[in-house]
Structure 1
Amino acid sequence: MVTFAKRFTLFAAGLAACFAISSGAARAAEPIYKVGATATGVPFTFLDVKSNSIQGMMVDAIDAAGRAAGFKVEVQQNVFSALIPSLTTQKIDIISAAMLKTPARKQIVDFSDTVYSYGEGLVVKADDKGHYTSMDDFKGEVVGAQVGTAFVDALNKKGIFKEVRTYDSVADIMRDVALGRIKAGFADQPIVAYQLQQGANTQVRLVPEYQSAVKGQVCFIVRKGDTATLEQLNSAIRKMKADGTLQQILQKWHMS
């Protein structure tokens, strides 16, 4: 004969089992977004050779956004110029990298609220003691910038340079400046500053008096019209700013 106490115990056990199954199903149901990032954008995104994974401020930011909004991320390595094509062809779902919001890009993709703001920095030879404050100071010279960046567009629009060369990475720009192949390089100021602090290239310097011509916002980026994902990201950004999570991430990477 089954006593009331035993029936109650069995009932409670059944409820617990159902709860465990439903909780597991809920966790399993969390969407996984494929996130595109670059291996050469330290401190925003970079390949950590020890873990063989992409790390950086924008990786931490999208991870935190996922926790706040209830989704998981799978970060994939892309070259900078392939980020938007990979997004529009649905190879990835979100871009989280050092990509500035521009009118031209806004015609193709949608940007979230601002995660971080910055402009370009100027790189010259370490022994070049010139006082440079703008792009105009290099009229008639050969200059360079990273392919796919807003800085290339700004330089070409000037129409005053002997040649505007494009490079796959900031490291490549600094190398050609050091070798004298180009007079000056224009690249993401926080990336250049961080790399030089880490001793990436002692033959070049970042010009402190230079005033950025292209100042913009770094955001998460989604496919045009993907309002559902965009709303999730914007809600997460608001939470991260309100509770201090974003500020902690910026401090971790020496960007605040």
Structure 2
Amino acid sequence: MSKKIATYLLLAVFILSLGLVGCGKQTNSSTAKVLRVGAETTFPPFEFQDETSKEYTGFDMDLARAIGKQMGYEVQIQNIGFDGLIPALDAGTIDMAASAMTITDERAKKVNFSQPYYKSGLSIVVKSSNAVINGFKDLEGKRIAVQIGTTGAEAAHKIKNAQVREFNSSSEAYIELKNNGVDAVVNDLPVNAYYLTKSGDKDAKLVSEVANSEYYGLATAKKNTELNEKVNKALDELKKNGEYEKIYIKWFGKKPE
């Protein structure tokens, strides 16, 4: 064998060994535990994008990351329209939805819900000058803005003669109120309260009446009962070790009820 041929053979072996090392790295990365979490990220204080860091933040986002850490998973957040979350779970493009999703009988037919992790209710935001709307009974025949796919939207559609306008995000609904396109916004109480506090909008106010006490749950695919059990176990552990309470106080300024 000539020196030239021997050199080529050694080079070929070297290149082959590099390829095998590369394959080994890919195998290791593919076996990493990842929890793909879907959320509609325009729903503060539960999920929204930080203006400075551009990272997804909020109560649900902190809770989802804490659950993933407790389970030993890396959490990856995906921004998905609220009405697309359940289809995404069905399709397997996400593993869990953490998006202030109210537990309802209808949704429970399509997904597995975790134990409740937050108690909420529906409320109304109107212009500060509005002295006519003081409760849900006063919304009859009025123009109402809601976020598509939410329980607020469901409730608004049941109001007699109401003209309901659906928007992709809660922020769009508030803008419509500001521009006098609607008479009121119906949304979850903590979301409405957070908007008024953080936006500093002096031209809007929260109607005192709260309706339809409801509970939020983390959703997983109907067929993935194993993941649902792991999520519930992690939630229990976070409540016992104080991490859940810490996250709750961070976003709502008080201990959970």
TM range (shorter): 0.7 to 0.9
Residue number among 238, 245, 248 corresponding to 1:247 in the alignment = 245
Deviation at 1:49, TM superposition (A): 2.5
- SS of the equivalent of 2:149 reads coil
**Counterparts of 2:189 and 2:202, CA distance in 1:** 16
Which residue number in structure 2 is paired with residue 194 of structure 1? 194
Matched AA of 2:166: T
Matched AA of 2:193: A
Q: After superposition, where does 1:122-141 map in structure 2 within 5 Å?
A: 122-130=124-132, 132-133=134-135, 135-141=136-142
Contact (CA 8 Å) 1:174, 1:204: kept in 2 or not? no
Which residue number in structure 2 is paired with residue 20 of structure 1? none
1:166 matches 2:161: no
Which residue number in structure 1 is paired with residue 4 of structure 2? none
**Counterparts of 2:186 and 2:139, CA distance in 1:** 11
Q: Deviations over 1:185-240 (max 9, x none)?
A: 10121112112111253321111x2122x321111110012111001000011111
Q: After superposition, where does 1:85-164 map in structure 2 within 5 Å?
A: 85-130=87-132, 132-133=134-135, 135-158=136-159, 160-164=160-164
Which residue number in structure 2 is paired with residue 210 of structure 1? 209
Q: How many residues align?
A: 228
- SS of the equivalent of 1:113 reads coil
Q: Deviations over 1:53-97 (max 9, x none)?
A: 211111110111112222221011112222112221111111011
Which residue number in structure 2 is paired with residue 43 of structure 1? 45
Matched AA of 2:225: T
Matched AA of 2:141: G
* Percent identity (aligned): 28
Q: Unaligned stretches of 5+ in structure 2?
A: 1-26
- SS of the equivalent of 2:252 reads coil
Matched AA of 2:101: M
Deviation at 1:255, TM superposition (A): 5.3
Which residue number in structure 1 is paired with residue 226 of structure 2? 228
**Counterparts of 1:244 and 1:223, CA distance in 2:** 28
**Counterparts of 1:242 and 1:164, CA distance in 2:** 43
Point out 4+ residue stretches in structure 1 off by more than 3 angstroms. Answer: 25-30
- Give the alignment's TM-score, normalised by structure 1: 0.83
Contact (CA 8 Å) 1:142, 1:161: kept in 2 or not? no
Deviation at 1:29, TM superposition (A): 5.1
**Counterparts of 2:109 and 2:253, CA distance in 1:** 29
Q: Unaligned stretches of 5+ in structure 1?
A: 1-24
Deviation at 1:164, TM superposition (A): 1.3
- SS of the equivalent of 1:64 reads helix
1:52–1:175 Cα change, 3 Å? same
